[in-house]
């Protein structure tokens, strides 16, 4: 894959981002965050789907410090490698790269819109954590693993956020989803959605009806807050 944009990291070096450009721009942008498998075809397809709705979408390569342009499959070996990368991933640097992506977008000539953030799995967690910092106008996270560890920080949310979860998700068992539901239920900045038959990864490889419903809810949410 050839990245279409090069972004300056805050601690030196540069990293790439896949860019999906809308045919009919709505004036706003979206930073779309990868899963543990890199900026794969599934992430690029999701970016293209948001571009069809009018958003200028940037999907940054968050694993550039390990292997720029890395794309993993769901084979046994690649899943093992993805899990190893997650263990080694520096979350703080990743959040800095995400903010650098938003800053890069806002620095583009003629851009004066708002910037939202979205992501799946690892990207879902990083979406939530990014919304605890200044820099984004709205966030949408899909099945973010680890959000339950930062529920007490939800009081610091800087923008509205929508979170999607599949009830059949083995990485987010019922007790974890219940903790998230209870921990965020009274937060006016949070909107939660649960999908009874959906598994982990449903937004990119799940049932078409769940994908369509989640995408419709997401676009409605973004249209409301941007």
Residue pLDDT, tens place only, 48-65: 999 999 999 999 999 999
Q: What is the pLDDT of residues 27-43, one digit of tens each?
A: 999 999 999 999 999 99
Rounded to an integer, the average pLDDT of 116-144 is: 98
Would you say residue 1 has pLDDT above 60? no
Q: Which of 97, 137, 169, 210 is catalytic?
A: 169
Q: Which of 121, 159, 164, 225 is catalytic?
A: 121
Rounded to an integer, the average pLDDT of 180-187 is: 96
Confidence of residue 3 (pLDDT cuts 50, 70, 90): confident
Q: Which of 104, 164, 200, 225 is catalytic?
A: 200
Confidence of residue 4 (pLDDT cuts 50, 70, 90): confident
Domain of residue 91, residue span: 5-225
Active site residue 159: no
Active site residue 48: no
- Distance of alpha carbon 187 from alpha carbon 207, whole angstroms: 29
Give the number of other Cβ atoms within 10 Å of residue 90's Cβ: 11
Taking Cα atoms as reference points, which of 149, 195, 200, 193 lies closest to residue 172?
200
Contact 189, 167 (CB under 8 A): no
Active site residue 200: yes
Taking Cα atoms as reference points, which of 175, 29, 201 lies closest to residue 111?
29
- Distance of alpha carbon 101 from alpha carbon 16, whole angstroms: 10
Report the CATH number that the domain containing residue 170 is assigned in CATH. Answer: 3.40.50.1820
Q: Phi-psi bin for 35: left (phi > 0), alpha (psi -120 to 50), beta?
A: beta
Would you say residue 100 has pLDDT above 90? yes
Would you say residue 2 has pLDDT above 90? no
DSSP 23: S
DSSP-assigned beta bridge partners for residue 166 = 195
DSSP 25: -
Confidence of residue 206 (pLDDT cuts 50, 70, 90): very high
Number of domains in the chain: 1
Q: Phi-psi bin for 188: left (phi > 0), alpha (psi -120 to 50), beta?
A: alpha
Taking Cα atoms as reference points, which of 226, 224, 159, 172 lies closest to residue 199?
172
Strands 115-120, 29-33: pairing kind: parallel
């Amino acid at each position: 894959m050839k990245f279409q944009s090069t972004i300056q990291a805050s601690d030196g070096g540069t990293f790439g981002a896949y860019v999906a450009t809308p045919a009919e721009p709505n004036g706003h942008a979206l930073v779309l965050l990868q899963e543990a498998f890199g900026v794969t075809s599934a992430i690029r397809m999701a970016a293209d789907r948001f571009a069809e709705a009018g958003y200028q979408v940037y999907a940054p390569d968050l694993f550039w410090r390990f292997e720029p342009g890395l794309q993993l499959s769901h084979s046994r070996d690649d899943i093992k490698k993805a899990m190893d990368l997650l263990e080694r991933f520096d979350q703080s640097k990743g959040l800095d790269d995400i903010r650098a992506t938003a800053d890069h977008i806002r620095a583009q000539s003629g851009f004066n819109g708002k910037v939202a953030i979205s992501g799946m799995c690892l990207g879902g967690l990083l979406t939530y954590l990014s919304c605890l910092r200044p820099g984004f106008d709205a966030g949408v996270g899909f099945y973010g693993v680890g959000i339950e560890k930062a529920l007490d920080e939800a009081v610091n949310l800087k923008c509205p956020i929508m979170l999607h979860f599949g009830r059949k998700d083995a990485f987010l068992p019922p007790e974890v989803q219940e903790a998230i539901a209870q921990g965020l239920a009274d937060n006016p900045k949070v909107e939660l959605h649960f999908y009874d038959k959906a598994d982990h990864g449903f937004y990119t490889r799940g049932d078409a009806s769940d994908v369509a419903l989640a995408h419709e809810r997401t676009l409605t949410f973004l249209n409301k807050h941007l």
